[in-house]
Structure 1
Amino acid sequence: MDVVTIGESMVVFTPTSDGFMRNASQFTKKIGGAESNVAVGLARLGHKAGWISKLGDDEFGKAILGFLKSENIDVSNVSIDEEAPTGIYFKEPRRQNHMRVYYYRKGSAASKLTPFDLNQEYIASAKYLHITGITPALSESCKETIFEAIKLAKRHGRTVVFDPNLRLKLWDEATARATLLEIASEADIVLPGIAEGEFLFGERDPEKLGQLFLNHGASLVVMKNGAEGAFYFTEKESALIPGFPVKHVVDPVGAGDGFAAGFLSGLLDGLEVGKAVERANAVGALVTMVTGDVDGLPERDELEQLLSKNEEDVVR
């Protein structure tokens, strides 16, 4: 296994008409969830990804499980809860680059995850453990599960990758800050956005934020800065890797997950950090061009076409 990730996936409904969702009568149905988005992104690029979670014993849970199997995700460590439901959420596209999201996930099957749902050998089988700041916000048992997973990964010398993925609708600021900082101190690689760095450290300057994360325990920090690209920081070097221009953003949700998938793909392929960040920027850009959390995640030939075009433009 290349990457194992842990978290909640949900069914996503989006109105087929413009305007307020209150007036919508028809919706499209898709699948979304930060961690499984990353797994799908990796699988489409030819890597082996596994997802740990719980789903309800309902039609939505069956839809998610079937979809992830079709994307070649290992779901052998997904369990079914016969009492709790699968979570859902709604997207409300208001204007270009502005999407309102409504979650209905309280008491969901995934929120019932506990450390007993973890298989030590399964986590040890992966090169990377990918986690986000969403899962520990779902419940106290989910938070305990994430810290146990980190402990198991480190026990076996596996690399822990952490995307803060801040969701303040799920918990209060003080608890969120304390928990995310604790996880960041345990992670080897941290993938924050600048706004998340500001929330955690009260600082907005990328260079200062990069050093703060390194001082806090990470060995590599990759900081997303939207269309501008992303910075990376190690103790020895740092650089800004330019992003890929997108003329019309169709759906920004999932771009950060695509970024994480692209970056991990680059590391798995043995790329140097700067090139891995370039791949991350490319995948993130491609995701924004298509409606749906995972629909824009590219296969390798699509990704290579964009990267090749970028190199040609640089040469010119």
Structure 2
Amino acid sequence: MSKIICFGEVLWDVFSTHKKIGGAPLNVAIRLKSLNNEVNIISKIGNDSKGENLVAFIDKKGVGTKGIQVDKHYKTGKVKVMLNDKGSASYDIKFPRAWDHIELTEAAIDMVKSSNAFVYGSLVARNDDSRETLIELLKLASYKIFDVNLRPPYYTVELLIELMNKADFIKFNDDELFEIS
């Protein structure tokens, strides 16, 4: 069993008919946990009921929540998801949100130092606070997995190159490969 840390956004995806818990790092964490890994997530929620519900859901899935911080100023993440006639999604990612301000804490440092793998994406780096925390934690990680998640306008080529250069392994889909090549 591996000890894996996932870093990034936890949020609510809001569709026209329903809402569900999401965020690429959280989805990865839940999948890795289902494969019998020890998984923790580092993120930030607002001091609100949406954040409390997120943590309860994550706990229920067996993913560790000791790396989830609570922000007194910013709300829990929210993304408005719109589907076109063909079922393709477009996103209105609310900004700023609590996960834009993940802090470098002793708990986060200890978790990353004791892990076998550190999974991160590109969306969490849209704001300086979380990006700076990510860069510091990458210095401590033994094995770094970059799960590219391109959401315009929240990335630059320079940022992607920086994050790719820090990775031991990079995961992307066909659309992302086309976009970054």
TM-score (norm 2): 0.91
1:42 is aligned to 32
2:91 is aligned to 101
For 1:115, what is the secondary structure of its paired residue? coil
Match of 2:45 among 26, 49, 55: 55
1:164 is aligned to 148
1:5 is aligned to 6
2:66 is aligned to 76
* Cα offsets for 1:136-182 (capped at 9, x unmatched): 11x112111111111011xxxx11001121112224xxxx1111111
Q: Find the structure with the greater CA-based Rg.
A: 1
Cα 1:118–1:107 change in 2 (3 A) is farther
Cα 1:6–1:117 change in 2 (3 A) is farther
Q: CA deviation at 1:117?
A: 6.5
What are the residue-to-residue correspondences of 1:180-191 with 2, within 5 Å?
Answer: 180-191=160-171
2:122 is aligned to 133
2:180 is aligned to 200
Is the Cα contact below 8 Å between 1:9 and 1:87 reproduced in 2?
A: yes
Higher RCO by CA contacts (8 Å cutoff, separation 6 or greater): 2
For 1:75, what is the secondary structure of its paired residue? strand
1:230 is aligned to none
Cα 1:125–1:192 change in 2 (3 A) is same
1:179 is aligned to 159
1:115 is aligned to 104
Is the Cα contact below 8 Å between 1:51 and 1:73 reproduced in 2?
A: yes
Residue identity in the other structure for 1:78: I
Which sections of structure 2, spanning at least 5 residues, go unmatched?
A: none
Alpha-carbon distance in structure 2 between the residues aligned to 1:162 and 1:87: 21
2:16 is aligned to 15
Is the Cα contact below 8 Å between 2:69 and 2:102 reproduced in 1?
A: no
Q: CA deviation at 1:84?
A: 1.1
1:243 is aligned to none
1:85 is aligned to 75
For 1:149, what is the secondary structure of its paired residue? helix
Which sections of structure 1, spanning at least 5 residues, go unmatched?
A: 17-27, 202-316
Q: Which of the pair is proportionally richer in strand?
A: 2
Q: Pairwise CA RMSD of aligned residues?
A: 1.7
Alpha-carbon distance in structure 2 between the residues aligned to 1:33 and 1:89: 9
Residue identity in the other structure for 1:133: S
* Cα offsets for 1:19-59 (capped at 9, x unmatched): xxxxxxxxx22101010110011112322211001110001
Cα 1:196–1:117 change in 2 (3 A) is farther
Q: CA deviation at 1:4?
A: 0.3
What are the residue-to-residue correspondences of 1:285-304 with 2, within 5 Å?
Answer: none
Is the Cα contact below 8 Å between 2:46 and 2:70 reproduced in 1?
A: yes
Alpha-carbon distance in structure 1 between the residues aligned to 2:123 and 2:78: 15
Residue identity in the other structure for 1:146: L
* Cα offsets for 1:200-246 (capped at 9, x unmatched): 33xxxxxxxxxxxxxxxxxxxxxxxxxxxxxxxxxxxxxxxxxxxxx
Is the Cα contact below 8 Å between 1:2 and 1:127 reproduced in 2?
A: yes
* Cα offsets for 1:110-151 (capped at 9, x unmatched): 1111334763221122211001111111x1121111111110
Aligned pairs, number: 180
Residue identity in the other structure for 1:81: D
